[in-house]
């Protein structure tokens, strides 16, 4: 009871009446009520009205789960206090700042919840979607030593975006970053990448590889990689795109050096 107003026993209503009420709720309210209990989660999912176009995870200043809705709004669960430690890869009691657009938001805390529990809840409510893309704009602590476990937690299915430079000590970091490159993604994007070696390219197992860098990869490396690809390496790769970080940058590549010893046909730009 608050300010003389009695609470309404919503869950005591008949199930058909409850479903009717849930169907008319705003999207963020449907998600909020799904967090109350397993019963309310089951109630929300039973209406079969919670749909999304895709679910992405962003690792920036905060770690966030981003749910793109059919209405082209985006429901975001942000975890600013989510810090992975070497001895505790799945800390509990992380708070979610849930928002829809610029005005609707609430903070929710489930003391027993880990990040995996939050993600499982989202995937359970939006049952037909998986995690399409994971975007790394910063490294999580111990990423170089626990990369396999972290990817299992975040569960990217299609695309991986690494918007960060490679490890400072390449000799120590190459083995773990290669574990990332070897995943069967549809597309992997390396942005702001400062150093790409031939070994990096050869272990990539994606259909499409995009590399955006302020520094062009050495033409000899590209030449050797293309020859390896022709000989049968990187069997899943269909497209390789290499370009500057910004559209305003001028990048010159010695095409003759890249294609030296390789049979090829030059196609005019206007040809599609």
> How big is the chain by its Cα radius of gyration, in Å?
23
Q: What is the pLDDT of residue 90?
A: 65
Q: What is the pLDDT of residue 2?
A: 46
Q: What is the pLDDT of residue 122?
A: 93
The answer to whether the beta carbons of residues 64 and 143 sit under 8 Å apart is no
Per-residue pLDDT of the chain (272 residues; tens, 9 = 90+): 345 556 777 777 777 888 888 888 888 998 998 998 888 888 888 877 788 999 999 988 888 999 999 888 999 999 877 765 545 556 777 888 999 988 789 998 888 888 888 999 999 999 778 899 999 988 777 777 778 888 888 999 999 999 876 554 445 556 778 888 999 999 999 988 777 889 999 999 999 999 887 776 788 999 999 999 999 999 999 999 887 776 666 667 788 999 999 999 888 888 87
Q: What is the pLDDT of residue 3?
A: 52
> Which is nearest to 38 in space by CA: 11, 13, 16, 62?
11
| pTM strictly above 0.85 | no
**HEC readout, the chain:** CECCECCCCHHHCCHHHHHHHHHCCCHHHHHHHHCCCHHHHHHHHHCCCCCCCEEEEEECCCEEEEEECCCCCEEEEEECCCCCECCECCCCCCEEEEEECCCEEEEEECCCCCHHHHHHHHHHHCCCCCEEEEEECCCCCCCCCCHHHHHHHHCCCCEEEECCCCCCCHHHHHHHHHHHHCCCCCEEEEECCCCCCHHHHHHCCCCEEEEECCCCCCHHHHHHHHHHHHCCCCCCCCEEEEECCCCCCCCCCCHHHHCCCCCCCCCCCCCC
Q: What is the pLDDT of residue 1?
A: 36
């Amino acid at each position: 009871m608050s300010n003389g107003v009695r609470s309404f026993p919503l869950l005591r209503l008949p199930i058909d009446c409850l479903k009717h009420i849930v169907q008319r709720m705003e999207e963020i309210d449907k998600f909020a009520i799904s967090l109350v209990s397993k019963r309310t989660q089951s109630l929300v999912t039973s209406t079969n009205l919670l749909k999304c176009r895709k679910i992405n995870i962003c690792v920036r200043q905060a770690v966030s789960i981003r749910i793109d809705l059919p209405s082209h709004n985006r429901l975001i669960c942000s975890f600013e206090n989510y810090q992975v430690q070497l001895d505790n890869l799945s800390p509990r009691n992380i708070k979610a700042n849930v928002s829809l657009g610029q005005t609707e938001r609430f903070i929710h805390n489930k003391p027993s919840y880990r990040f995996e529990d939050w993600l499982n809840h989202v995937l359970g409510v939006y049952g037909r979607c998986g995690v399409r893309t994971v975007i790394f704009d910063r490294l999580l602590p111990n990423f170089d030593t626990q990369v396999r476990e972290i990817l299992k937690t975040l569960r990217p299915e299609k695309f991986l975006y690494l918007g960060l430079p490679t490890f400072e000590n390449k000799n120590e970091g190459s083995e773990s970053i290669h574990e990332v490159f070897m995943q069967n993604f549809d597309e992997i994007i390396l942005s702001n990448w400062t150093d790409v070696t031939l070994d990096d390219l050869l272990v990539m197992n994606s259909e499409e590889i995009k590399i955006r860098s302020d520094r062009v990869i050495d033409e000899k490396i590209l030449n050797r990689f293309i020859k390896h690809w022709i000989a049968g390496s990187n069997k899943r790769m269909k497209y390789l795109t290499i370009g500057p970080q910004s559209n305003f940058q001028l990048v010159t590549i010695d095409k003759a050096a890249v294609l030296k010893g390789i049979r090829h046909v030059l196609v005019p730009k206007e040809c599609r």
